[in-house]
């Protein structure tokens, strides 16, 4: 019933909009409160207006069909998607130093076999997978666009998602130990393992790294905690960079930032170890709700509530495909770690509590990541309507990075966090810029 709880929470909040003001009054400053309330009010009103204008019968019909429907949307694995698009594909596996078995997908070249003799590594965001870069076909997927430009494209999958759900000792479906990680471990173990594998396999000394959302967070961890990897990255392009979160206006993180016991709350809401674990009910719910016209509007606007509001850039007809591949898997601790960043206004390691912090860090609070150690050249690409990545936090990040090359604001005031991957116009607005950066680096 995890997903049902989330839907219920969202719409209870929508029906009692003044709850946001009560929450906001606790700690956030006046300007941030006004901005937060306005964005949340507009979004919730849109959800209610466009989804439930037929009355409560619509909600009852949706819930009823959840339990009547047994049709599950198919999920074609990434190698299958790439083959269908007519591109060469390889699937590789690498084991991290702490035993996680990761799956890397590769498009060695485009359809013409044009080659630039350069490697590009793509890293997905939270609850996502390598499907980010290929899902909507060759005209839309960044991996295809880069392969056709002659790049050797490698797509990582971090621990816990569909493709990297294995371990030398633990079973993710049975062992709680498997899920004791956040994006810290991804930066310490996953990225180094996958980058080294790609470089060793190709015989190259360095590569281009392109990340989205958490794919950038993990990179900042790796490059600051393992500075020897900076020389292995010719250029890092951060799409929707996430590090500092003080100014985030995402209702999801805002709500969690005011929860007294975030661990207990999230475990009750979304899973003790795995965040939003996939099960029969979850699949039926997402398939049924997002299949019908009213459900497509509902699913679309739930995405907006989490990451920003830009309806014209999301093709509703793609929602079934999106829901077949997402959420792709994550640990609850990944969400909690971001929640801790929102509260602490620091970019730092996981907060285990005072006793364990002393054991691990020799102090009561978690140690910060030293961003000045990141010597690899970095380009930050952000947008005004990204509720997770606020411009003030991006500016702060840019001041602390050791080798910032460019800060680029997306020339679309409505562009949001997921638009970097799913927007109709991402090829011409984002990927053209990415290709230009690679060509001129």
| Angle (nearest 5°) at CA 237 between 412 and 179 | 105
**Model pLDDT, residue 61:** 44
Instruction: Write out pLDDT tens, residues 227-282.
Output: 999 999 999 999 999 999 999 887 777 776 666 555 555 555 556 788 777 654 45
Task: Supply the pLDDT for residue 312.
Answer: 85
304, 299, 51, 426 alpha-carbon torsion, rounded to 10°: 50
Work out the number of other CB atoms within 10 angstroms of the CB of residue 38.
Answer: 11
Q: Hey, which residues are catalytic here?
A: 213, 386, 417
Q: What per-residue confidence (pLDDT) applies to 311?
A: 78
Nearest to 439 by CA among 243, 234, 264, 254: 234
d(CA 49, CA 239): 32
Mean pLDDT of the chain: 82
CA atoms of 118 and 206, how far apart (whole Å): 8
Rounded Cα–Cα distance for residues 418 and 315 (Å): 12
406-413 long-range Cβ contacts below 8 angstroms, 24+ apart: 406/379, 406/380, 406/437, 407/379, 407/380, 407/382, 408/379, 408/380, 408/381, 408/382, 408/433, 409/382, 409/383, 409/384, 410/381, 410/382, 410/383, 410/384, 412/383, 413/384, 413/385
> What sign has the CA pseudo-torsion 389, 390, 391, 396?
negative
Burial of 150 (0-12, 13-18, 19+ CB in 10 A): middle
pLDDT of residue 315: 80
Instruction: Quick: pLDDT tens for 208-233.
Output: 999 999 999 999 999 999 999 999 99
Q: Which stretches of the chain score pLDDT less than 50?
A: 1, 4-24, 26-28, 33, 36, 40, 43-72, 280-281
pLDDT at 36: 46
Could you say which DSSP state residue 163 is in?
G
CB-based contact 196:188 (threshold 8 Å): no
């Amino acid at each position: 019933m995890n997903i049902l709880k989330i839907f219920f929470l969202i719409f209870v909040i929508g029906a009692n909009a003044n709850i946001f003001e009560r929450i906001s009054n606790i700690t956030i400053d006046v300007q941030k409160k006004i901005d937060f309330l306005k964005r949340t009010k507009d979004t919730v009103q849109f959800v209610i207006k466009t989804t439930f204008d037929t009355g409560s019968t619509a909600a009852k019909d949706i819930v009823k069909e959840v339990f009547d429907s047994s049709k599950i949307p198919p999920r074609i694995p990434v190698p299958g998607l790439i083959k269908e698009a007519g591109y060469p594909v390889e699937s590789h596996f690498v084991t991290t130093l702490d035993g996680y078995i990761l799956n890397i997908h590769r498009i060695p070249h485009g359809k013409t076999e044009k080659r630039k003799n350069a490697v590009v590594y793509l890293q997905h965001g939270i609850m996502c997978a390598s499907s980010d870069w290929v899902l909507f076909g060759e005209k839309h997927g960044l991996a295809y666009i880069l392969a056709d430009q002659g790049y050797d494209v490698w797509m990582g999958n971090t621990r816990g998602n569909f493709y990297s759900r294995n371990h030398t000792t633990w079973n993710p479906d049975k062992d709680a130990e498997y899920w004791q990680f956040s994006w810290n471990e991804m930066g310490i173990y996953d990225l180094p393992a996958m980058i080294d594998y790609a470089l060793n396999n190709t015989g190259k000394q360095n590569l281009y790294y392109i990340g989205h959302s958490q794919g950038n967070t993990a990179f900042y961890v790796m490059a600051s905690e393992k500075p020897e990897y900076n020389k292995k990255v010719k250029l890092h392009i951060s799409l929707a960079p996430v590090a500092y979160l003080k100014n985030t206006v995402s209702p999801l993180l805002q709500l969690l930032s005011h929860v007294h016991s975030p661990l207990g709350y999230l475990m009750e809401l979304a899973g003790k170890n795995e965040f939003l674990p996939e099960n029969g009910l979850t699949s039926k719910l997402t398939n049924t709700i997002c299949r019908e016209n009213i459900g497509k509007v509902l699913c679309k606007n739930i995405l907006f509530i989490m990451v920003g509001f830009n309806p014209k850039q999301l093709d509703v007809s793609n929602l079934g495909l999106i829901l077949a591949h997402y959420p792709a898997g994550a640990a609850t601790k990944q969400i909690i770690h971001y929640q801790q960043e929102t509260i602490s206004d620091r970019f730092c390691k996981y907060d285990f509590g005072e006793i364990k912090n002393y054991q691990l860090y020799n102090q009561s609070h978690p140690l910060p990541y030293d961003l000045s150690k990141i010597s690899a050249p970095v380009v930050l690409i952000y947008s005004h309507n990204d509720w997770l990545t606020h411009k003030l936090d991006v500016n702060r990040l840019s001041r602390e990075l050791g080798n910032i090359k460019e800060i680029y604001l997306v020339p679309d005031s409505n562009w949001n966090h997921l638009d970097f991957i799913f927007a109709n116009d991402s090829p011409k607005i984002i990927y053209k810029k990415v290709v230009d950066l690679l060509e001129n680096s």
